[in-house]
Amino acid sequence: MTLADSLSPSPRRHRPKRRSQWKGVLYIAPAMALVIVFFILPVLFTFWMSLHKWPLIGASSFIGLRNYVRMFSDTRFYSALGFTAYYTVIITIAIFALAFPLAIFVERQRRMVGVYRTAIFMPVVVGLASASLLWVWFGNVDSGFLNPLLAWLGLVDPKSNFFASFDSAFVVICVMVVWKVAGFTMIILLTGLQAIPTELGEAARIDGANRWKRFIYVTLPLMRKTMALSLILSVTGSILAFDQFYIMTAGGPQNKMITVVYYIFNQSFVSFNLGYGAAMSLVLLAILVLISIFQLWLLRVGEDRP
């Protein structure tokens, strides 16, 4: 063997690396297959539908980008977007305003803390449709208990219908959603609180920081990733709201509670414009992706500062 042969790299040294790469591909192949079958292919098919005039019954016809152009002049679509944005802001603030104090309350070790966590989380296991029907019964004028209770407290008139006006119906829906979802958000925030080392809080307390300053300068910065996850889930779920408005108010009163998903449903399966519904679905998907990217960027601002 010559000196050049001994210094030349052996081709066998690269085989273990290639094998490990193929093993990694095999490990993620099932997940990739699920993503392709249940996400990428449906999105591509939805885009294909959006380029057609696609009735529920009958042959489809190619119309290009006319469905997307139609959205620019659809005032009802903009109205649905506006109401969805309003609902998303209100319900997200309400959920965090309740879930964060609850997470702090159940994070501390005290008697019956497990009972408190279970009781707060129990509404999460109830389906949204079932919860909507339950609260429709609660607010029923004749058989519900909300009307007699609030009338006894002097807050409303006897036999007042909560679902007859926009304000009262919106409040009932928001209370139901907060009751249903706050426990789930609380659990996510609780995991973030439990991941914070207790030594940091003790060090800040020894340095003279009160409870509020420890929360602002220690707890919140270390909760960025957890808050990002819970915020994305809350905003996404609010934008995709459909069940509660369909079951509790049917879009009323006066069609003022029609969300984007509700409007897409009406256009697709009531007016039988599947192509137009597909186009609006893709626009909604793009809006959700942009909002999620913005939320992640906003919560990471200043994260790398010393």
**Per-residue pLDDT tens for 269-300?**
888 899 999 999 999 999 999 988 888 787 66
CATH of domain 75-300: 1.10.3720.10
Confidence at residue 48, expressed as pLDDT on a 0 to 100 scale: 94
- For residue 12, name the pLDDT band (cuts at 50, 70, 90): low
For residue 65, what are the contacts with CB-CB under 8 A and spacing of at least 6?
51
Confidence at residue 186, expressed as pLDDT on a 0 to 100 scale: 93
Report the share of the chain in percent with pLDDT over 90. Answer: 42
Cα torsion through 175, 177, 182, 183, rounded to 10: 110
Please calculate the CA angle 161-91-290 and round it to the nearest 5 degrees: 135
CB-side exposure of 298: number of CA atoms within 13 Å?
A: 11
Q: Is the pLDDT of residue 14 over 60?
A: no
Confidence at residue 19, expressed as pLDDT on a 0 to 100 scale: 66
- Reported as a single tens digit per residue, the pLDDT across 135-168 is 988 888 777 777 777 777 777 777 777 888 898 8
Confidence at residue 3, expressed as pLDDT on a 0 to 100 scale: 45
Contact 248, 163 (CB under 8 A): yes
Confidence at residue 8, expressed as pLDDT on a 0 to 100 scale: 52
Helix (H) or strand (E) holding 282: helix 274-300
Confidence at residue 306, expressed as pLDDT on a 0 to 100 scale: 45
Angle, to 10 degrees, between the axis of helix 75-107 and the axis of helix 166-194?
A: 40
DSSP state of 10: P
- Reported as a single tens digit per residue, the pLDDT across 194-221 is 888 888 878 888 877 788 888 888 888 8
Taking CA atoms, 130 is separated from 15, 91, 126, in Å, by 57, 19, 7
CB-side exposure of 194: number of CA atoms within 13 Å?
A: 12
Confidence at residue 295, expressed as pLDDT on a 0 to 100 scale: 80
Predicted TM-score (pTM) of the model is: 0.84
Mean pLDDT calculated for residue range 221-226: 85
Domain assignments of the chain as residue spans, ordered by start:
75-300
Confidence at residue 11, expressed as pLDDT on a 0 to 100 scale: 52
Contact 258, 245 (CB under 8 A): yes
Structure tokens at 209: 């920081």
Backbone angles phi, psi at 199, to 5 degrees: -65, -30
Contact 244, 64 (CB under 8 A): no
